[in-house]
Amino acid sequence: MAEDTSLEAALARLFNTPTGLKAASWITLTGGTRLFSAGDESDHLYLLRSGRMGVFRHDDDHQGLHLIGVIKPGEPVGEMSLIADTPHTSTVIALRDCELMVLPKADFLKAIEAAPDVLLALSKQMIERARSGTPREGRRHNTPNVFAFFALNDIIVRPLVERIAEQVRALGYRVAVLDKDHHGTGADIFAEAEAHNDYVLHVAEKPESHWRLLSSRQVDHTFWIADARHHSQRPHSDPARLPASTLNLEDSQLLDPLGLQRAPDLILIQAQEADGRKVIAHTRDWLDAFKPARWFHVGEHSLPDAARIARIVTGHSIGVVFSGGGARAFSHIGAVQALREAHIPIDFICGSSMGAIIGGCVALDWSDAEIDAHIREAFVVSSPLDDVTFPFVALTGGRKVDQRLEQHFGDVLIEDLPLPFFCLSSNLTSGTIKVHKTGRLRQALRASISLPGVMPPVVEDDQVLVDGAVMRSFPALMMRNSHLGTVIGVDVTRAKGIDPKSVHVPKSLPTWFLKGDWRKGPPIVSILMRSATITTAADLEQSRLACDLLIIPEPEGVEIREWHAYDLAVESGYQTSVQSLAQLEQPVTQLRKLGISLHPNIPAFTPDDSFLTPPRPDKLKYTLKPQGVTLPRFLKGPKKPQPKL
């Protein structure tokens, strides 16, 4: 039998040499402990036997750390600096409770005389890392696979976690569920569970504080679970019983020295009506008390909701992005119909300008018929932009739009929507993008469609907000960072903008009024709408590259203010989406990009304003590095779309 020449086998032989056996020692590190820092002298070789460690590098200003790789069991630590005889260039920190074998430098040099193949194997690894650009890259290392589910109140969470685990298995993965019965069984149980399963789910009920504290040091990401049918009561108890974000700074650092777990996700268990729809309540209380990164509403006994959490955990979730585009954005409705007919779930939704309106309908979990009825009445039966006024601020008064948004969306809050949703507006006061992820839905939608010069802006907290498409018409990059799964983008910004005929001055004002063309507004409306939503080729290309599946409807004859062309735009969106789905080589849930380095202990980025401002010096920063981002491959030759039933 040929000798195993792998690096792990070579290291095992090294530590089994007489020198290695005599000089090596064992050490244990709790999660969050620093093994060494950049600049420290390299005086030991480490071999990770269990756990997981992160490799970090400092910013140029040495005020933050970037994760550049993850070390898994069987891999060496600190070997590059040891061989090169230089100080460490990176900082290594335990991301789990870890066990390591340690060999002093002098003994390492003596041991490789008896096992020279180790030096050869280490040299090969160093060359491979140098060629790849950064050490230990690869999605398989950095994708989170160990999750905690911790109860915040007296609800029993084990049944929900078991349903989630069953849905993970249905996706074809091996999964283990660990509970308090595994407390005190030794650190090997965690390593074994991770080695023999694709995913490991830790579950802790509220009273199980010691098990929760131990579990929190073994996981990549935490989900809090609460019964939202009761108001949140911010707990005041001993630190071991509290999630990290509810603690003062000193206690929080004791439980979580790196701050890696300070932004868990929140699952709120909601009551359900007879038809299965959730009765969502008290969301704002829970968000104020625990400030989660993301939140998800789950029906008490809902299997589809458990399946959605399973998709989010495994990176099979689907996020859909809708661009702006005026009346052309009605194409998004047809795209939604096609996705639903193909049984493709929508787990996250976002949009800009008119895309935000359609996205809000989807996030409300409206049926196709409900979306059609609401949009027709609000935007098609009569123009929402015919309340022309003296243009002190805008050509229209905006009252009709305000009334229709209130009529159809009421006072629902974004945080109470059944599906995670955000939309954009452009902040003219600060010159930044405003991301709406909480607050009254209709007010956020009103800001997102407030075309400068056409509709009055929205003033919120002394900030002037206008149409989101002014700064970002197609927010696919933001959706890309909001979850680990597939991004489907429906973009109508490429469609024809202004027909030259539509900007001609009417030859006869009486005829213009009699024909009803005045309801569209004067030609300046088209000019303002197109000017406010124009997108540069570079921005558009970057946004489109963030999509795993890009759908580009071309609604012929539909101009950005042709509200009456509703049916034509919807049909165009439907047919284009059916064709795009028919041409895919693999299931939509498997279209996620490869090579995106995501930190295993940090939840996916939640859209807010933080990406526009410099990070605080006292916070760790993590780098997401796309590697070879490409659009999905398609089969040669278009397939004939299936007829709409």
Name the DSSP letter for residue 490: E
Do 218 and 207 touch, CB atoms closer than 8 A? Answer: no
Using DSSP, state whether 41 is helix, strand or coil.
coil
Torsions phi, psi for 537 (to 5 deg): -60, -40
- Give kind and range of the element (H or E) at residue 49: strand 44-50
Burial 15-44 (b: 16+ CB within 10 A, else e): bebebbeebbeeeebebbbebbebeeebeb
The two structure tokens encoding residue 19: 């020198």
Torsions phi, psi for 328 (to 5 deg): -65, -25
Q: What is the DSSP string of 367-412?
A: -HHHHHHHHIIIIISS-TT--B---SS-SB--HHHHHHHHHHHTT-
Distance, CA of 494 to CA of 556 (rounded, Å): 12
Q: Which of 622, 458, 455, 631 is nearest to 551 (CA)?
A: 631
Do 258 and 183 touch, CB atoms closer than 8 A? Answer: no
Check 81, 352, 353, 383 and give the catalytic one. 353
Distance, CA of 168 to CA of 178 (rounded, Å): 15
Using DSSP, state whether 611 is helix, strand or coil.
helix
365 is catalytic: no
Do 544 and 550 touch, CB atoms closer than 8 A? Answer: yes
Distance, CA of 62 to CA of 242 (rounded, Å): 32
Name the DSSP letter for residue 376: I
Query: At residue 176, what is the residue type?
Result: A
Query: At residue 368, what is the residue type?
Result: D
- Give kind and range of the element (H or E) at residue 319: strand 318-322
Residue with tokens 């007489």: 18
- Give kind and range of the element (H or E) at residue 199: strand 199-204
Q: How do strand 91-94 and strand 53-58 relate by DSSP bridges?
A: antiparallel
353 is catalytic: yes
Quote the strand ranges of 88-234, DSSP E: 91-94, 98-104, 146-151, 175-178, 199-204, 221-227
Name the DSSP letter for residue 184: T
Query: At residue 632, what is the residue type?
Result: P
The two structure tokens encoding residue 628: 């070879």
Check 467, 473, 502, 548 and give the catalytic one. 467
Helices 7-15 + 116-132 axis angle, to 10: 140
Q: How far apart are the first and last CA of the chain?
A: 62
Please list the active-site residues. Answer: 353, 467
